[in-house]
Chain A
Amino acid sequence: MSKRLERPDAQGRFGEFGGRFAPETLMPALAETERAFDEAWADPVFVDEFHRILREFVGRPTPLHAAPRLSEALGVNVLLKREDLAHTGAHKINNAIGQGLLAKRMGKTKVIAETGAGQHGVATATAAAYLGLECKVYMGAVDIERQALNVLRMEILGTEVVPVTSGAGTLKDAVSEAMRAWVTTVEDSHYIIGSVVGPHPFPYMVREFQKIIGDEILEQLNGNLPDVAVACVGGGSNAMGMFFPLAESGIELVGVEAAGEGILTGRHGASITAGTPGVLHGTRTLMLQDADGQVQEAHSISAGLDYPGVGPEHAYFATTGLARYVAVDDESALEGVELLARTEGIIPALESAHAVIWVKQAAAELAGKTVLINVSGRGDKDVEQIGRFREERR
């Protein structure tokens, strides 16, 4: 059995994945960020401050509880980790607070971020307001439309939302544009990347800030480990935040990617299930690309999973068998929203609904087992879009 890596190697590699494929202009900033993070993470004052804010402001620990009516409906003993109850409504705030604190420690006065679903944008806007940092968020024009509620939230929080019209106007393009913006502003700005993606040290650092999810789970379970732990995978931060502490404990880890309109249609976001090795946004990982190495557009009903790459540590987990990755499609995700809403009174984000519905799809295999689902976020942001889909189906 392969081992998880406490940290990537000196070049930022998780096995053959990871690294630092970035323009020279950013290289000194990446090295500085790595140095600053290592120092901060070893400093009890910083770590205590991080945990204090997560406790007082974010409302952690988030609950972990049984889901009796869903369990009965599926014949599977389901547990839920409630990241949807974290302040701002998703796990993204853990990382935004961590990196916001780091930005301040590094003497930066401004932060920039990209966002897909808008959850990371809202989390960063919130952390920036809380910590007194200036904030700009890059968001694809298509996502601005489908996640309008979150755009307003960011604006109310005093953040400038910058529309990105290049490419398909979704998450990939927002990341590219945020990186370009960082190249220009690197001297006074920190880039709060929203998932376990990007050049080293981002995948490692974001995992460290999100590890709180799995650490809490282990404490809350008090030795009664589930058989399976499931999370949706866009860039992979909620999944890795849960997987890393649980890896090597005998729990089967399952990451659920977006199959979009179906893997065979080519319109999906399943970079592990259907991708090949390549370099996207500064890291070597599994990604969607054509024979020439041109990046392909991803597709998913959920903006947060609409990304043609995945964090390099997931590529490592996948190729070494530390976790298993599956994919579910748009229709199923919609079904997942209603399933959790009607059995447990929780409207999950469309992203999280992918994890929920996979448990139903795999119910035969999972019968009698205990399955922990990470409910990465709440669905308020998706309500309008879900309404439109229901309308269309009528």
Chain B
Amino acid sequence: MGRTAIRDMFARTKAEGRAAFLPFMTAGLPTPAESLSLFQAMADAGADGFEVGIPYTDPLMDGPVIQRGSDTAIRAGATLDVSVSILKSVAAATSKPTIAMTYVNPIFRRGVDRFCAELAGAGADALIVPDLPVDESQSLRIAAERHGLGVVLFVAPTSDAGRIEAVAAADPVFIYAVAEMGVTGERTDSGSHVEAIAERVRKVTDAPIVFGVGISNPEQAAAAGRVADGVIVGSALVRRALEADSADAACQSLATAVSAIAEALRT
């Protein structure tokens, strides 16, 4: 559980000579009742673990697709409690590492300690909070550790050595390396920054590196996967979930996309 489950996943994928694939999906799409089926389809298609988005009204780090995903999920009834229960069902049904993603306000509103306790109780292994930089992360790290949750911290193309060192010193379960300047969304160009960032991070720490933001197709995933321990794809998958006209269609569309990316990471 927790940190160990995630580190074990990286050890396994590394032994297979590849990066781990962690699809992102907003909890509650297309509806809370059908949400698990989408995660199950992605698990069957080769996901190694999940980043489960707990929807938030004002996601500052997210582009239009994930914003729309959040709005849709909230309107469909994905409250905080419902989202955590979806995460719980995903963890139980797939037995894969699950990492919760949400913004700092819902965490503070519920109370940092209680939030971590509820996530851990649901079987989450770690937590990603895009608007909580390392500078503001201490109270969350203390609570997360008390409840056996790992905390993920970010490194961006703009982070200098001092900031990367501060992130490493906070001992994240892995480092989320932002592959492109900007918010989440699909890009046509491919990760121009990934090699340089990976190199800068590796100089400072041997914490696992996972690339996300701007990775949406198998080629981009493969390029990031060559220099990282893991890859996160979000907008390209949420878009498929939003475009499909039924949960079944969403599952099929996601299975196709996930298996293509998983395949690209193996070669």
Chain B residue, CB-CB nearest to A10: B135
Which of A29, A278, A293 counts the most B-chain CB atoms under 10 A from its CB? A293
Whether A179 sits at the interface, judged by CB under 8 Å, is yes
Q: Give the residue among B60, B71, B80, B130 with the most A Cβ atoms within 10 A.
A: B60
Contact in complex: B155, A24 (CB < 8 Å): yes
By the criterion CB–CB under 8 Å, are A23 and B108 in contact? no
Contact B136 A23 (CB under 8 A): no
1/0 per residue, CB under 8 A from B, across A270-290: the answer is 000000011111101000010
Are B154 and A294 interface neighbours, CB within 8 A? no
The answer, yes or no, to whether B133 is at the interface (CB within 8 Å) is yes
Of A95-103, A123-131, A181-189, A339-347, the one touching chain B: A181-189
Q: Residue on B with the closest CB to A282?
A: B131
A24/B156 in contact, CB under 8 A: yes
Q: Which residues of A contact B109 (CB under 8 A)?
A: 278, 289, 291-293
Q: Are A295 and B105 in contact (CB under 8 A)?
A: yes
Q: When each residue 20-58 of chain A gets 1 if its CB lies under 8 Å from chain B and 0 otherwise, what string results? A: 111111111100000000000000000000000000000
When the two chains form their complex, are residues A293 and B80 in contact, meaning their CB atoms are under 8 A apart? yes
CB–CB A27/B63 < 8 A: no
Q: Are A289's CB and B105's CB within 8 A?
A: yes
* CA–CA, A277 and B105, complex, Å: 9
Q: Flag if B133 contacts A21 (CB, 8 Å).
A: yes
B170 is an interface residue with CB less than 8 A from chain A: no
A94 and B109 CA atoms in complex are apart in Å by 35
Q: Mark interface residues in A180-215 (1 if CB within 8 Å of B CB, else 0).
A: 100111110000000000000000000000000000
Cβ-defined contact, B107 with A293, below 8 A: yes
**Contact indicator A294/B74 (Cβ below 8 Å):** yes
**Interface contact A24-B58, CB-CB below 8 Å:** no
Are A25 and B105 within 8 A (Cβ)? no
In the complex the two chains form, is B58's CB within 8 Å of A186's CB? no
Residues on B with beta carbons closer than 8 Å to the beta carbon of A278 = 105, 108-109
Contact of A24 among B56, B71, B107, B159 (CB under 8 A): B159
Interface residues of B in 97-127 (CB under 8 A from A): 103-110
Which of B40-48, B178-186, B241-249 lies at the interface? B178-186
CB of B143 within 8 Å of the partner chain: no
Q: Does A378 contact B (CB under 8 A)?
A: no
State whether the Cβ of B190 lies closer than 8 Å to any Cβ in chain A.
Answer: no
Given A187-B158, A279-B108, A294-B106: A176 and B60 interface contact (C-beta under 8 Å): yes
* Chain B nearest CB, measured from A271 CB (Å): 14
In the complex, the answer to whether B132 meets A25 with C-beta atoms within 8 Å is no
B160 at interface, CB cutoff 8 A: yes
User: Does residue B57 face the partner (Cβ distance < 8 Å to A)?
Assistant: yes
B157 within 8 Å of A (CB atoms)? yes
Q: How far is the CB of B117 from chain A (nearest CB, A)?
A: 16
Alpha-carbon gap, A22 to B71, bound state (A): 21
Residues of chain B within 8 A (CB-CB) of A20 are: 133, 135-136
A167 on interface, CB distance cutoff 8 Å:
yes
> Does B163 make an interface contact (CB < 8 A)?
yes
What are 28 sample pairs from A and B whose C-beta atoms fall under 8 A apart? Answer: A11-B136, A19-B136, A20-B133, A21-B131, A22-B133, A23-B130, A23-B133, A23-B154, A24-B163, A25-B178, A25-B182, A27-B158, A27-B163, A28-B159, A166-B64, A176-B60, A179-B60, A180-B63, A180-B182, A183-B183, A184-B182, A184-B183, A278-B105, A279-B108, A293-B80, A293-B106, A293-B108, A295-B105
Add 11 more A-B contacts to A23-B131, A180-B61, A295-B57 (CB < 8 A): A11-B136, A21-B133, A22-B60, A23-B61, A23-B156, A24-B153, A176-B60, A183-B60, A186-B181, A278-B105, A293-B108
Q: Interface of B with A (CB < 8 Å)?
A: 56-58, 60-64, 67, 71, 74, 79-80, 103-110, 130-136, 153-160, 163, 178, 181-183
Q: Which 3 pairs across A and B sit closest by C-beta, in order of nearness?
A: A293-B109, A293-B106, A184-B182
